[in-house]
Amino acid sequence: MIYFDNSATTRPYDDVVESFAQVSRNFFGNPSSLHALGGKAEQLLTTAREQIAKLAGVHANEVYFTSGGSESNNLAIKGTAFMHHGRGNHIITTSVEHPSVKEACEQLRMSGFEITYIDVDQNGRVSADDVIGAVTDQTILVSVMHVNNEVGTIQPIQEIGQRLRKFPKVIYHVDNVQGAGKVPLDIYDAQIDLCTFSAHKFHGLKGTGFLFVKNGINLTPLISGGKQERKLRSGTENVAGIVAMAKAFRMAEDQRRENTEQLVQIRDYIIRELEILPGLVVHTPNAKAAPHIVNASAVGLKGEVIVHALAEKDIFISTTSACSSKDKTPSGTLAAMGATDEELTGAIRISLSYENTMEEAEQMVTTLKQILEKLNQVMRRNQ
């Protein structure tokens, strides 16, 4: 099997799965319980929080555990809106955000909030000038993703954050789900107030994630109950999943420091090979892009047909984001970048991990060429 759908989810590291199993078997107590078993679970939770905070470069009391990226994004956006609506009702985001950001904003629009979507250029990159230029005296939140999940474009997070210092009442949220373990991000230097992470994007387990909340930033909780996570996110913590997430984050960061160059070489090889294929348009920008994502369109063909044809050869890629692919919604990111209707229909995404090899990339490219040739022959016969 060749797995190139790592932006949708990554294979959990074996050590991560074993860590989850050990904690689940031996330390299953509720961390809120007063007895010794609960105390041990609480101790593991505290240690994991400290480890994750160190890896993220933040303070431990700024890490709040959630069920993953979607919940963290919703908590950041809606929690800000509900807490600070008294001082403004304007939110700024971009036209290429993840659905968990877009849909949260649209729900707030129905409640009377004003949402401004900043357009991107042909590379999927937003202009810091445009973001700052949209700020008004009613703006309470700016939300911009770090790495685009479909094409891999890296947004000017630091520049936006530095320039937002002129607007101290505006809270700055960054969706770092695709960047964690792949692209460095200095949260404090970028002046970020809220930052989203999801474990299963860096070889942890699904259903675990965390939200960085800068000290002094207040949010309205979205989940009421036992007041866990310092009253911001109720619900018994998934201790085993959180411990496993800490291990996965450490292993992913080790890989990033040691193997990013190898990952870039594989990505660049795939881009070079795809660019010379007739009828194929590569959307991932050569510069200012993450090392693990390649997006391209086979003009005149359907992306889902290519995905299924590769799957029959035990090679797995995707079309758009996993959250949009099953309902066959055209890529909003590519549309915002100016892609044609044919390019939207024929879009595919190849996303890598540090576990992938150049040999796998070569095999995938060879197989893809064969599939495209056959599909184009069929198309020509049917014309």
Any catalytic annotation for residue 323? Answer: yes
Four-CA torsion 161, 164, 168, 173, nearest 10 degrees = -50
Do residues 194 and 214 touch, judged by C-beta distance below 8 A?
yes
Residues sharing a CB contact under 8 Å with residue 62, sequence separation 6 or more, in sequence order: 53, 212, 213, 214, 215
Q: Which residues pair with 65 in a beta bridge?
A: 210
Neighbours of 213 (CB within 10 A): 26
Structure tokens at 119: 């357009």
The catalytic residue among 323, 335, 342, 355 is: 323
Helix (H, G, I), strand (E, B) or coil at 114: strand
Distance, in Å, from the CA atom of 96 to the CA atom of 295, rounded to the nearest integer, reads 14
Strands 315-316 and 2-3: parallel
Helices 358-382 and 303-311 sit at what angle, rounded to 10 degrees? 130
Catalytic residue numbers, as ranges:
323
